Amino acid sequence: MSKYLIAGNWKMNLLQNEAIKLIEDINFGISSLNLSSVEVLVCPPYTDLHIANEKLINSPIQLGAQNMHFMTKGAYTGEISPAMVIDAGCKYVILGHSERRQYFKEDNEILIKKLKSAFDANINPILCIGETLKERELKETTNVLFNQISILNLFEKENLEKLTIAYEPIWAIGTGINATKEQIEEVHLWINNFVYSHFGLNIKILYGGSMNATNAEEILSTENVSGGLIGGASLKSEQFLSIIQTAISLSQ
């Protein structure tokens, strides 16, 4: 297992030509790097997936989707099935991002179905969890995370081996204010203990929320942090490449 997973979440950004340019720049930048200890993933919007997949032939960069429906096919206008995600070249899918929970009312009930269909389709899910600022101030962080992570109890260990968790404090997403090293350390230890005590597994736990080239070293060197889910900074090749380079240096 590689030591770090550096994942770019492009969200609803980049038209096809812009996506091609970014992938070409990242591809060029990593061609001289030793990626044996770092896995790199990009998660473009659906409309860029097929072209991204073409551009990633012969590249070590993996492809992921930002969401998918849980049904295999049928009358679900506007939705994308797990098979379509695989067909577009994806090995990963982000599930339960706070923006989906907030704007599209994704709750535990839906996420259980999505996790199950990801496991059934052999897609590696990245399950996002995180608290709001208000919840943190009310000292509710652990309760909120417990509620979000408890759905894992419905799954078998053999499936959960394919799972990655992303801790993304909602107040840190897109704000330019990342969680402190101490805050990240505390939550990642808690998540690690939960997963290990329930399933006997050590899975990857990514941090997400205003991670960039400047704070990457501090965040990635924190105990139990096995990578990053990066939004804004993943849209700039020099920032994303710098984070990858930091992960490589730290894993040596």
Whichever of 128 and 199 has its CB closer to ligand PGA, that residue is 128
Q: What are the DSSP E strand ranges found in the chain? A: 4-9, 38-43, 62-65, 92-95, 124-129, 164-167, 204-208, 227-230
Residues 65 and 90: beta-carbon distance below 8 Å: yes
Dihedrals phi, psi of 203, to nearest 5 degrees? -110, 165
Whichever of 159 and 170 has its CB closer to ligand PGA, that residue is 170
Residue 168 is a catalytic residue:
yes
Whichever of 44 and 232 has its CB closer to ligand PGA, that residue is 232
Least gap, CB of 165 to ligand PGA (angstroms): 13
Least gap, CB of 206 to ligand PGA (angstroms): 9
Out of 99, 106, 135, 168, the active site residue is: 168
Which residues in this chain contact ligand PGA in the complex, by CB under 6 A?
9, 168, 173-174, 208-211, 229-233
Least gap, CB of 166 to ligand PGA (angstroms): 7
In terms of phi and psi (left: phi > 0; alpha: psi -120 to 50; beta: otherwise), the region of 125 is beta
Bridge-partner residues for 39, per DSSP? Answer: 5
Q: Is 251 helix (H, G, I), strand (E, B) or coil?
A: coil
Whichever of 82 and 231 has its CB closer to ligand PGA, that residue is 231
252's enclosing H/E stretch is none
Residues 70 and 117: beta-carbon distance below 8 Å: yes
Out of 39, 97, 99, 188, the active site residue is: 97
Whichever of 132 and 198 has its CB closer to ligand PGA, that residue is 132
Tokens of 49: 């997936």
Least gap, CB of 58 to ligand PGA (angstroms): 27
Residue 106 is a catalytic residue:
no
Nearest to 4 by CA among 59, 50, 41: 41
Least gap, CB of 229 to ligand PGA (angstroms): 4
Residues of 201-210 as b/e, b for ≥16 C-beta within 10 angstroms?
Answer: eebbbbbbbb
The residues annotated with a catalytic role in the active site are 97, 168
